Amino acid sequence: MKLWDKGISIDNKIEQFTVGNDREIDIHIAKYDVIASKAHAKMLQSIGILSAEELEQLLKGLDVLDSQIEAGTFVIDEQFEDVHSKIEFELTKTLGDVGKKIHTARSRNDQVLVACHLYYKENLQLIQSKVKALFDTLLDLAETHKDKLLPGYTHLQVAMPSSFGLWFSAYAELMIDDVYLLNAALRTVDQNPLGSAAGYGSSFPIDRELTTKEMDFATLKYNVVAAQMGRGKNERTIAAALGSLANTLSRFAMDVCLYMSQNFGFVTFPDELTTGSSIMPHKKNPDVFELIRGKSNKIQALQGEMVLITNNLPSGYHRDFQLLKENMIAAFEDLKDILDIFNYAIQQVIVKDIDLNDDKYKYLFTVDNINTLVVEGQSFREAYQKIGGQVQDGTYVPDTSKKHTHVGSVHNLCLDKIRDKFPQ
């Protein structure tokens, strides 16, 4: 069953290759094709293509399919090329000639396009809500542990005093930047492409503003060629935003793995959140965070894939675009899982007490001690050389009493300011 079937048979090898695994992927966009089909049917009735009775029949038929999709009983059988042909077949099987009318004034191209727009829009919003949940968790952890000092590192060498409050809230504030990019991607896809048909519009007097309202898009993609050229551009934009968030999560997961190791020993987790070794009974491995790191890095590679699939394609539709869906949808589904498990696990973090009198942290306060000498009247260069000399000759004794008072520093986290900054 193909929407483009003209009664001519096609080589089985060619068919298998061109269909690929669209059937499996399209389950994720099935409900959005139903949403778009309802809007399209209402528009067809408004311009006289469908009668009121035919519209009612189509909407009831689409409701049945929507219920099946929601219940998980909707299946795209092997005789169908994709979800779009399956839905039209079911409507035709139930409603006869009325079902055949649903494809009037649209192409499979803009069916795919609008279904993807709707999927991307809803899932970008869902990811933002999951980011907000993790953001709130991190700021709560920062508040709880704001007075617990943590060694700060540069070049993986002990550098200056930090704190768990500073660490947790750093990643929280970084995620605000990721949400800015998610919002930009959301604005890109929150434009209705339906009505572009095969990329050049329709000779039917379709009402694209009606479908825009019905599907709750912010605006139209007015130019029909621009709408079709959005294939690929949408995915490149989204991949950049998802990749930015994935980078933040990957780096945070790496910190957790590092800080759990015995050589650092800053945090741990309940035994039930970790895994063991088949031969080393003492092991307590951070597998969850290692997989978060790996999956997040995989998502960061998506932007390059989207660019290479679509780079330098001329205007108009090309079958290359079919290849965009699989890994784009997989990235959304993986990122939602990553955010959920990260939030679940990090809430159970056990912050350890760190003995900053340990000899390996001896030089953690050298900069603070230099600054104390500067406040007392020495030039910075003189103070630097004095403390440096003490370090070299082994006479340095750290003074740990100095506080950092400026905005955003270890003793002035500004957690309320960071919380207020999160985009609404």
Q: Report, as residue numbers or ranges, the catalytic residues.
A: 155, 277
Tokens 């090898």 correspond to what residue? 13
Token pair in block for residue 324: 């965009």
Q: How far is CA 112 from CA 82, 83, 196, 316, in A?
A: 10, 9, 11, 14
Distance from C-alpha of 358 to C-alpha of 362, rounded to nearest angstrom = 7
Tell me the DSSP string of 383-407. Answer: HHHHHHHHHHHT-----------ST
By the 8 A CB rule, do 216 and 36 touch?
Answer: no
Q: How far is CA 200 from CA 6, 104, 233, 314, 409, in A?
A: 21, 15, 18, 14, 56
By the 8 A CB rule, do 288 and 341 touch?
Answer: yes
Distance from C-alpha of 111 to C-alpha of 215, rounded to nearest angstrom = 13
Distance from C-alpha of 369 to C-alpha of 371, rounded to nearest angstrom = 5
Tell me which amino acid residue 100 is: K
By the 8 A CB rule, do 186 and 125 touch?
Answer: yes
Task: Print burial letters for 289-300: b (CB count within 10 Å at least 16), e (below 16).
Answer: beebbebbbebb
Distance from C-alpha of 130 to C-alpha of 124, rounded to nearest angstrom = 10
Tokens 């389950």 correspond to what residue? 27
Torsion angle (degrees, nearest 10) of CA 142, 159, 393, 380: -100
Tokens 């949408």 correspond to what residue? 234
Distance from C-alpha of 91 to C-alpha of 50, rounded to nearest angstrom = 15
What are the residues facing 82 on neighbouring strands? none
By the 8 A CB rule, do 127 and 336 touch?
Answer: yes
Q: How far is CA 225 from CA 111, 113, 249, 318, in A?
A: 15, 12, 37, 13
